[in-house]
Amino acid sequence: MNYSIITYGCQMNVHESEKIAGILKEKGYERESPLEEADIIVFNTCCIRENAENHAFGNIGALKKLKREKKNLIIAVGGCMAQEEGKAELLRKKFPFIDIVFGTHNLCEFGELIERKRARRKAVVSLLPERGETEDHIEPVRRSYPNAWVNITYGCNNFCSYCIVPYVRGRERSRRAEDILREVRTLLEEGYKEITLLGQNVNSYNSDGQGGMSFPELLDAVAGMGGKYRVRFMTSHPKDFSEELARVMKARENVCNLLHLPAQSGNDRILSLMNRRYTREKYLAEIAMLRGYIPDCPVTTDLIVGFPTETEEEFEDTLSLVREAKFASAFTFVYSPRTGTKAAAMEGQISEDVSKERIMRLVEQVNENTRALSATFVGKTTEILCEDFDEKKGLYLGRNEGGRMGYFESERNVIGEFVNLKVERANGISLYGKLV
């Protein structure tokens, strides 16, 4: 039988979709297929911003006809949006043809839900309260060789005032270090070449005492298994970034010299309203500390414009932060009010026009940084882990340790190999050149 999974949202969700594929495989769905040929279609949703939700709503709605023509097709909706308060009911009201709704706390149960659906005609909805689980015992069907994602924490305790994640993912739980290390060892034996450790705030790993070691210790152990491979991690929260971590990044050759450190804003009043618990000064001091250990270490970030009450001057502090911190690249977002969060109830919501104008200026500044850094690679050689072949371009591609995307020709298939790229030209975060 065939399956399709449509994934929205962050890397965490991309990996969760690999677990969903694992569950589907166990239930006899062996082949991934286009929507029209699928026996089951799973939407793994996100609710971080309104447009993520609208996107999913649109795509689910578009299946009405297919479902009418194909009575045995099962349509399942899971993930963060499904877990959101009241959304399961709304989904079923809007789209009565949905067969299964499951939340983020139901992943292990998804297989059972499929069987229940097969046994009866009625739709099944199962939104469990949080159960504090840290091990899901699901064998993922990994789809991103040579990269492998490994969860180290689930949930989040930070309650940034704009963010819905703590409400839909529950409290932060750390997996036991020995389970993580076992998983990594197996992945390396299977030939994976890049391990990315995943958590909403990796620096607070073991805050519940369940991990058994600190994040820098864990990172050191993950990186110390011998052989050639890379280690990445995301996301780091500036309030918990430590010198110990910078030391491990420097000491371990295979921990990529790249830090994703979401700043959100460059203004202290807004940072405080966001409940981020650091100042611009502390943020910049952390980057300086890191670059003391690793000169010019690339730092990437997430930025939000149009947070309630943000003034023009406060927005300009974000612009100047982009220059001052010399970000290697950045994800930029227009603030989106999320029901139930503190910020959504604040006075002084910013108009769409103002936010749009601000994001355009921010994107321009970020692009300037991106171009400037990419240009420094031209004429130099950089090591790339080849990940894929781009059919349209007719070129192989992969990233260097700092996350620049390298494109090149090759006579033989080099996916999964480390290669050296002599860069001839750059475009955005992409580098083009020849293998040497």
48/249 with CB nearer ligand F3S: 48
User: Hunting for tokens 């076992």 — which residue is that?
Assistant: 182
CB of 318 to ligand SAH, least distance (A): 11
Let me know: does 349 contact 377? Beta carbons within 8 Å: no
Instruction: Out of 7, 264, 267, 318, name the contact with ligand SAH by CB under 6 A.
Output: 264
**Residue 47: which of ligand SAH, ligand SF4, ligand F3S, none does it interact with, CB under 5 to 8 A by kind?**
ligand F3S
What's the number of CA atoms in the CB half-sphere (13 Å) around residue 279?
Answer: 5
Give the pair of three-digit tokens for residue 255.
């921990």
Among 36, 135, 159, 178, binds ligand SF4 (CB under 6 A): 159
Interaction of residue 48 with ligand F3S, rule CB under 6 A? yes
- From 125, 111, 117, select the one nearest 72 (Cα to Cα): 117
Task: Say which entry of ligand SAH, ligand SF4, ligand F3S, none residue 204 contacts (CB below 5 to 8 A, set by partner kind).
Answer: none
Among residues 3, 4, 5, 10, the one that binds ligand F3S under rule CB under 6 A: 10
- Closest separation in Å from C-beta 242 to ligand SAH: 16
* Alpha carbon 25 to its chain's center: 24
Q: Exposure string (b/e) for 246-261, b if CB count within 10 Å is 16 or more?
A: bebbeeeebbbbbbbb
> For residues 157 and 210, which CB has a smaller minimum distance to ligand SF4 in the complex?
157
Query: Cα dist. 244→66, 213, 365 in Å?
Result: 54, 13, 32
DSSP secondary structure letter of residue 176? P
84 and 164 Cβ atoms separated by less than 8 Å: yes
- First vs last Cα of the chain: how many Å apart? 45
Among 169, 173, 237, 404, binds ligand SAH (CB under 6 A): 237
Given ligand F3S, ligand SF4, ligand SAH, none, residue 304, with its beta carbon under 5 to 8 Å by kind, binds ligand SAH
Angle 226-251-181 (CA atoms, 0-180°, nearest 5)?
45
237 vs 280, which CB is nearer to ligand SF4? Answer: 237
* Residue 264 DSSP symbol: B
- Report how far residue 357's alpha carbon sits from residue 154's, in angstroms, rounded to the nearest whole number: 35
Beta bridge partners of 174: 153
Gap between the Cα atoms of 196 and 10, Å rounded: 13
Site for ligand SF4 in 173-232 (CB under 6 A): 200-201
Judged by CB under 6 A, the chain residues 237 through 266 that form the site for ligand SF4 are: 237
Which partner, ligand SF4, ligand F3S, ligand SAH, none, binds residue 7 by CB below 5 to 8 Å per kind?
none
Task: Determine, following the binding rule CB under 6 A, whether residue 299 of this chain makes contact with ligand SAH.
Answer: no
Indicate whether 17 belongs to the interface with ligand F3S (CB under 6 A).
no
Q: Whole-number minimum distance, CB 237 to ligand SF4, in Å?
A: 5
The residue within the footprint of ligand F3S, chosen from 41, 75, 80, 231 (CB under 6 A), is 80
d(CA 129, CA 291): 43
Residues near ligand SF4 (CB under 6 A) are 156, 158-160, 163, 165-166, 200-201, 237
Residues near ligand SAH (CB under 6 A) are 48-49, 162-163, 165, 200-201, 235, 237, 262, 264, 302, 304, 333, 335-336, 338
Residues near ligand F3S (CB under 6 A) are 9-10, 12-13, 46-48, 80, 165, 168-169
